[in-house]
A and B are shown apart, each in its own frame.
Chain A
């Protein structure tokens, strides 16, 4: 797909996105910050899986940042790094400006009272042999040590009211199996809130729930964010819900952030070819089957085996196929219809296209001409 003129033309230089203004910053002050966070997993036989590569993001009080990507893209690994459950291979996590070094049980617990994680599967994340009361009173005891027994009871009841599981006493006495999926997820919200955190990391909090319940849960989460001024990281593969829910959207692919910016901009005018693929793959109810039926090919499907490519791209090294891009190349280049030689040789950094928006792509001028042309302070585009 390499077109001669484009190759010859010197692309107008885009600035590196080093001083990007997060759209989430308008909501409140910076709480948790990740700087060039990386995580490598050793696979044995000298192979290394680079699950997270130099991810930087900031979580601000009262704001929602969405992390969007396919499975295997490293979204959950980012959440686990931020939650202190994994040690980063490189990079730094800063909580309220102080670098965090989570080592040892005490430090971990202290960190946990600020940063709480909500898991995807409410069926697996609650202990089946304990009542709801236990699930709430244990974190209350651990993180809010000075509470008396009576206060703990009162706090647990008030938490249940916060997540609207009323009457509180009835629900506190129940076991997880007596609750529906939505109710269980409410319990895990309440459990996370028990520590009075300032940051909530929600790893696909609604993807296991029914469509009719999902929206209610997202609204509840949004409500809790407002009420407690939580800094929220919302991890999802559903970019449509990110549009409604998030201030800033980060799109992840093969461990890297390939595009970031205000939610509405990213979803309505995606610039990176991968984001475009993601957006075009979302079901379009208004289309009533037009595109799907007419066999419209997706950008990434041009070479046929999209799925296989995703497999090797997401889990580089495991499949070890020739389709896997080299370590130094753009990781999307094997699926990208716009890929040129430069993409296969040199990985693009995040390039700034506006004050609050960036994309990691060498071919932005072709992939998203409007976004490219509208960029701020842009140099002349030679043509």
Chain B
């Protein structure tokens, strides 16, 4: 396996030695911007976003539809077609199998092809649409395996059967067609398919959104179990913050194409720094504990064709001031947080219960920038 792997993965720009990798993030997205070119102008779906994914980590990306979370993930893998254009930034991938870091945005189509799925795989949102209705499970799995690994037909078939074992689907289901499987099983086939070539990064785009709570829970448990066993990193995209709080190590909150807050799950839950995060936390009803007052977030997301000046959340923000329309949205370190990697885009508001005097900055601009930079290698 390892021999085939290095053979396939290393690009034409030289054989890559093993072992020579620094302990940097697995995937480092820097200053990435993606725009959709339309007749009416550019829709800035992702606007200067930086995000890191460490090896074996689960990073949750939360935001409402149209906030650019899928565009960010797909843009980072160059899966977008025109009219989507990457207008700035860099995406560095440094897999353990690869040696030197690779700049994904500069790869040739061939190099990209060998990298996709092999290193970075995606579980798409709608399993019903992502599976081919006229091929059975075995065919779809072996198709992936043979496209990305140099193996014989028999080896591929064996591997496909092993993959179903991995996601706890009986092998008899290999001959089933997608319509014969339940929604949960289909989603698990999608997960098996993503893991077919042992990628180091798995991007999961709302993998459980269409499923029942009971099935959703089963699958999340299974994802965590597989992650422990195969130690891949996950970028988990969802609009359900309550789910991420339980699942993710770190959470990135996205709004209007920009990141509003990045922090560990417990920071986001207990010390949310950005007003949007705070409002999100009060918008889902909780099943347990006392009944909280739910406020929701009045208003609608910004029109990205003509975004408001300054902070994109300003029109819906209850803490907004006139100054908010003049700020440039950048992530900076939360002043009151002990963790230098807890970042917020709001320079004015502090986490609850940590009152700052008026006019005092909630973030540490200079050190914050440094804090943000520290993450990049």
Which residues in A have some Cβ–Cβ distance to B below 8 Å? 70-71, 180-183, 210-216, 219, 237-241, 243-245, 267, 277-289, 292-293, 295, 298, 300-301, 304-308, 310-311
CA distance A376 to B94 in the complex (A): 65
Q: B296 and A219: CB pair below 8 A?
A: yes
A276 to chain B, nearest CB (A): 11
Top-4 shortest CB links A-B: A215-B296, A307-B184, A311-B182, A210-B64
With A215-B296, A244-B291, A287-B246 given, is the CB distance from A310 to B212 under 8 Å?
yes
**How many Å lie between the Cα of A305 and that of B218 in the bound state?**
9
Q: Does B21 belong to the interface (CB within 8 Å)?
A: no
B227 to A: closest C-beta gap in Å: 10
Interface of B (DSSP majority class): helix
CB-CB under 8 A for A216 and B298, given A211-B241, A244-B291? yes
B130: A residues at CB distance < 8 A: none
Q: Are A212 and B283 in contact (CB under 8 A)?
A: yes
Question: What are 25 A-B interface contacts by the 8 Å CB criterion?
Answer: A70-B214, A70-B215, A210-B65, A215-B283, A215-B284, A237-B213, A238-B213, A243-B287, A244-B285, A281-B217, A285-B241, A285-B284, A286-B286, A286-B288, A288-B265, A292-B220, A295-B224, A298-B214, A304-B168, A307-B215, A308-B182, A308-B185, A310-B184, A310-B214, A311-B185
Main secondary structure of the interface of A (DSSP, over half): helix
B289 within 8 A of A: yes
Contact A214 B283 (CB under 8 A): yes
Give which listed residue, B247, B266, B287, contacts A279 with CB less than 8 A. Answer: B287
Contact A212 B297 (CB under 8 A): yes
Given A216-B297, A305-B168, do A292 and B291 touch, yes or no (CB 8 Å)? no
Contact between chains at A281 and B216 (CB < 8 Å): yes
Pair count A-B, CB < 8 A: 142
Shortest distance between the CB of B260 and any CB in chain A (Å): 12
Q: Which of B149-194 contact A (CB under 8 A)?
A: 168, 170, 182-185, 188
Name the interface residues of B267-292: CB closer than 8 Å to any CB of A: 269, 279-281, 283-289, 291
How many residues on the B side are at the interface (Cβ–Cβ under 8 A)?
48
Known: A292-B221, A307-B188. 13 other contacts (CB 8 A): A70-B214, A182-B300, A211-B284, A215-B296, A278-B213, A282-B287, A285-B245, A285-B286, A287-B246, A288-B265, A289-B246, A293-B224, A305-B168
B contact residues around A277 at 8 Å (CB): 214
Q: Which residues of chain B have C-beta atoms less than 8 A from A239's C-beta? A: 213, 287
Q: How far is the CA of A49 from the CA of B287 in the complex (A)?
A: 33
> B214-248 vs A: 1/0 string, CB under 8 Å?
11111011001100000000000001111101110
B370 within 8 A of A: no
Complex: chain B residue closest to A312, CB-CB: B182
Q: How far is the CB of A309 from chain B (nearest CB, A)?
A: 10
A315 to chain B, nearest CB (A): 9
CB of B294 within 8 Å of the partner chain: yes
Rounded to whole angstroms, the CA-CA distance of A300 and B221 in the bound complex is 14
Q: Is the CB of B246 within 8 A of A306?
A: no
For the complex formed, measure the closest distance between the CB of B245 and the CB atoms of chain A, giving whole angstroms.
Answer: 4
